[in-house]
Amino acid sequence: MVSKNIKIIFLISISIFITYVIILFSNYSEISDVVNTHINIKGEVDGQGSKKNLWIASLVNLLVLSLIGFLIKKPHLANYPVEITEKNKDNIYKKMQFFLGIIAIITSASFAFMIFKATNLTDYYIYLILFLILFPLVIIYYFNKKNE
């Protein structure tokens, strides 16, 4: 069973994905034919390629989100560093679902940054990501408080 909060956390990553795909689609003709395809940990560009690679990256993100979504629905299929027993099963599965939801957000936000960088919209990236993450979390908090 997937809790409502875990579903909302996962939906944050989906909303980030959908948002950056819309931005990519609407700005695709304005993107130069050669784009940065890799940025190292220092923020330096160390790879370039065709702008078609942005669609491939979006597809990779979609595949990763699909796998994460599958594992959130079926947490018993994930790999755990502890033995799963009837006593700890529910607690461990909830923690894994939460962890996977956070990984999905980080993954989509990372891919989104690449799209924002290619479309020269990096000035708006932080505002969009904060909105897409904080808005659902505020909604969760509000409804949890209301139900108490």
pLDDT of residue 148: 61
pLDDT by 10s per residue, the chain, length 148:
888 889 988 988 998 899 899 989 998 998 889 887 777 888 788 888 899 999 999 999 999 999 999 999 999 999 888 898 999 999 999 999 999 999 999 999 889 888 887 887 778 778 877 887 787 777 777 777 766 6
Q: Residue 8: its pLDDT value, please?
A: 85
* 81 residue type, one letter: P
Segment 117-123 long-range contacts (CB within 8 Å, at least 24 positions apart): 117/36, 117/39, 118/24, 118/31, 118/35, 118/36, 118/51, 118/54, 119/23, 119/24, 119/27, 119/30, 119/31, 121/23, 121/27
Q: What is the dihedral of CA 96, 114, 131, 13, to 10 degrees?
A: -30
State residue 118's pLDDT score. Answer: 80
* pLDDT of res. 97: 94
pTM of the model: 0.81
